[in-house]
Structure 1
Amino acid sequence: MTKAVAPQAKAPKWYSGDDVKPKAAPQKHNPTKLRSTITPGTILILLSGRFRGKRVVFLKQLPSGTLLVTGPYSVNGVPMRRVNQAYVIATSMSVDVSKVTIPAADDSYFTREEVATKTDEDQFFEQGAKSSTVSDKRKADQKTVDAGVLAAMTNPMLKAYLNAKFSLKKGDRPHEMIF
């Protein structure tokens, strides 16, 4: 009579296949390609965000791929902002911004200062709550950019065009519109 022999080790639940490919090295991301209709000075229509429907002037593309735009602030209240190009419509109108001094802005230029969290009960009930304010450097940069853009506007009706809000009404066909 033969004795039953217990297996030495338990069989694994998973077997690796021979056709499993090794993990690829992380790929280097290419910068976002700018649409051909968007060039420095092109007037864009914002489609989302706080300033949706406003017309803005495109200044340059940032290293992250976002667009640097301005209202100008003195015309329609839109400050220098970063905007994803997926949320804009390029128009055929443009302004010559070659002589405008654009600040060396990158994504760190637009980061907000971290506000310390309130841990103490006295700080929680403090009446003079601090609100986030724009730095003096950004205010000065905004004024210089606005002055340059306003000087580049030769058409007297361009200020009114930038100040007008874009909207669609019943019966409008945006796919047939020429901007």
Structure 2
Amino acid sequence: ATQKKQRAPRNHKLPGGVWLFSRSKMFHKRGLFKVKHAPVPKEKRKRKKRVEVKKINGENNGGKRVVRIKKERRAYPTEDSPRHKRTTHMKPSSLRVTKLRKRITPGTVLILLAGPHRGKRAVFLKQLKTGLLMVTGPYGINGCPLRRINQIYVIATSTKIDLSSVKLPEGLDDRYFNRPKSVKRRGRKDEGEIFDTKPQERTVSEEHRKTQKEVDKQVLAAIKKHPEKRALVHYLAASFSLRHRMYPHRMKF
């Protein structure tokens, strides 16, 4: 049997990622316009009956009348009310599970890129139900308390701490990080101007301080067990910043 010779393709990509010939040009080059396709038989759609003929008694009534099978509404709203379409492919945020990056595991040292503590390094503890990451400095090393942060605003480093002996206290969930509703007080005419009222200063509760000390005590104990504990403490205390000739896409964290 004779083997067919392999010929070079008619169309190929140019260096810019654009094809040499367009779709219409290749349609003519291949001669696809000469191919005659068999006609596809069209099926006639059966229309549903909308009306029916009913007999009517009485000599002067005509004997029959055409009546709609499905009666129309007697009243229609004067204004169109917007309807919310149901999306079957999307689950509510409470039921969706946010995937965690493979590099981020409990004990991974993260570099924070947003928020008041940006540039600091923090230890990842666990992922909350909302998908946010719970981290701690610890507070005694770099001043970063227990916080929530989105994983898109962190850089996962290769430095890891063994947190197998760390047991987090109960109640460390998303509700723990909710801010207390501040009491807003409007100034009256008798009291003077509205802008004279000062907002209440935010203070840390004793419960949060106790939880912070309890968590940091266990994390610091895990850091002391690390073979390079001194270097690790200096690493966590130092802030991250780009300097001259430092390119983030070339760096290995």
Both proteins in one fold, TM over 0.5: yes
Are 1:56 and 1:70, in contact at CA under 8 Å, matched by a contact in 2?
Answer: yes
* 1:72 maps to 2:138: yes
Please tell me whether residue 113 in structure 1 is matched to residue 180 in structure 2.
yes
Q: Which residue of 2 aligns with 1:43?
A: 109
Q: Does 1:169 align with 2:243?
A: yes
Larger radius of gyration: 2
- Give the AA of the match of 1:131: E
- Asked if 1:85 corresponds to 2:148, the answer is no
Q: Matched residues in 2 for 1:168 and 1:24: separation?
A: 44
- Picking from 197, 201, 204, the partner of 1:134 is 204
Secondary structure of the equivalent of 1:50?
coil
| Partner SS state of residue 156, structure 1 | helix
Q: Give the TM-score taking structure 2 as reference length.
A: 0.58
| Number of residue equivalences | 157
Distance in 2, Cα, partners of 1:45 & 1:114: 30
Q: How many angstroms apart in 2 are the aligned matches of 1:24 and 1:64?
A: 21
Shift of 1:41: 0.2
Q: Structure 2 stretches of 5 or more lacking a match?
A: 1-84
Q: Which has the higher contact order (CA 8 A, sep 6+)?
A: 1
Shift, 1:50, TM fit:
0.6
Distance 1:77 1:26, change over 3 A: same
Contact 1:43 1:57 in 2 (8 A): yes
Q: Compare 72-81 and 153-162 and name the one that shifted more.
A: 153-162
Letter of the 1:55 partner, please give it.
Answer: R
Counterpart residue number, 1:143 = 213
Cα contact 2:117–2:144 (8 A) shared by 1 = yes
> Alpha-carbon deviation of 1:40?
0.1
Q: TM-score, normalised by structure 1?
A: 0.81
Per-residue deviation, residues 73-93 of structure 1 (Å, max 9, x unmatched): 010000000010000000111
Measure the CA separation in 1 of the matches of 2:118 and 2:157.
Answer: 15
- The one-letter amino acid paired with 1:175 is H
Secondary structure of the residue aligned to 2:98 is coil
1:24 to 67, 87, 92: 87
Partner secondary structure for residue 65 of structure 1:
coil
CA change 1:24–1:89 in 2 (3 A) is closer
Q: Please report how far the alpha carbon of residue 130 of structure 1 lies from its aligned counterpart in structure 2 after TM superposition.
A: 3.0
How large is the RMSD of aligned CA atoms in angstroms?
1.9
Aligned partners of 1:101 and 1:144 also within 8 Å: no
Aligned residues with identical type, % of pairs: 48
CA gap 1:115/1:90 in 2 versus in 1, 3 angstroms: same
**Partners of 1:101 and 1:76 in 2: CA distance:** 22
The answer to whether the Cα contact below 8 Å between 2:139 and 2:145 also exists between their aligned partners in 1 is yes
The answer to whether the 8 Å contact 2:137/2:145 transfers is yes
1:46 alignment partner AA: L
Distance 1:126 1:172 in 2: 48
Provide the C-alpha distance between the structure 1 equivalents of 2:86 and 2:220, rounded to a whole number of angstroms: 54
Contact 1:96 1:152 (8 Å CA) reproduced: yes
